[in-house]
Amino acid sequence: MRKYHPDELERPDPETVRLQPKLPIALVLDNVRSALNVGSAFRTADAFALQHIFLCGITATPPHREIAKSALGATETVAWSYAATAAEAVATLEAQGYQIWAVEQAAGSTALQDFTPAPGERYAFVFGNEVSGVGEAWMEQAAGAIEVPQWGAKHSLNISVCVGVVLWEIVRKIKFG
């Protein structure tokens, strides 16, 4: 076995990526403190060809040095918008027909492995602040909460890791059944 050389990966140029079909998934980053986490979310959204990212509240927006450091150009290939609050982003997404799901430890949450995306449905997943999580103000508006099962002492994943875990599981179910 050998590792691929970057020239063998046949990466499309940013314009081609912007025009390619996208999965009907959006992210909402609600008051995320770390610009590095924001950049990682962009990179993951690019990897899975997501439709959109909403950056809300104190969440840093491109152009930003730390976002660029971890996004590696994904801010040029993933559509994004800024909203003053997650509630504003959620209202916009609901008007566009998205089901809104918080990614949060919450009473009555659905374990990630038990969440089954419905064919033809559009989904937006809200990831909250690294300390306080998704804002309480609109949690009741969400269709539900998805929780990543954990067994360690912390019961907490870094948001960039959580974005990757949640999106892989959902994209895997959409693409591969």
Residue 77 near residue 49 (C-beta atoms within 8 A): no
pLDDT in tens, 50-106: 999 999 999 999 999 999 999 999 999 999 999 999 989 999 999 999 999 999 999
d(CA 59, CA 100) in angstroms, rounded, equals 19
**Whole-prediction pTM value?**
0.95
Calpha distance 10→83 (Å, rounded):
35
CA distance 6 to 3: 9
Cα–Cα dist 146/74, whole Å: 25
Residue with the bigger pLDDT between 18 and 55: it is 55
Question: Residue 112 and residue 146: Cα distance in Å, rounded?
Answer: 6
Does the pLDDT at position 43 exceed 90?
yes
Count of Cβ atoms closer than 10 Å to residue 171 Cβ: 18
Is it the case that residue 129 has pLDDT exceeding 80?
Answer: yes
The whole-angstrom separation of Cα 175 and Cα 168 is: 10
Q: What mean pLDDT do residues 99-118 have? A: 97
Confidence band, pLDDT 50/70/90 cuts, at residue 139: confident
To the nearest whole percent, how much of the chain has pLDDT over 70?
100
Confidence of residue 135 (pLDDT cuts 50, 70, 90): confident
Count of CB atoms situated within 10 Å of the CB of 24:
19
Report d(CA 6, CA 137) in Å as an integer. 45
Alpha-carbon gap, residue 177 to 174, rounded angstroms: 6
Per-residue model confidence (pLDDT) at position 74: 97
Report the C-alpha gap between 75 and 115 in whole angstroms.
Answer: 28
| pLDDT tier for residue 138 given thresholds of 50, 70 and 90 | confident
Superfamily of domain covering 6-176: SPOUT methyltransferase, trefoil knot domain (3.40.1280.10)
DSSP alpha helices (H): ranges in 20-80? 35-47, 65-71
Token representation of residue 52: 């959109």
Three-class DSSP category at 13: coil
Residue whose tokens read 């912007």: 18
* Residue-averaged pLDDT of the chain: 95
Give the domain ranges of the chain.
6-176
Residue 122, amino acid? R
pLDDT in tens, 150-172: 999 988 999 999 999 999 999 99
pLDDT at 140 (0 to 100): 77
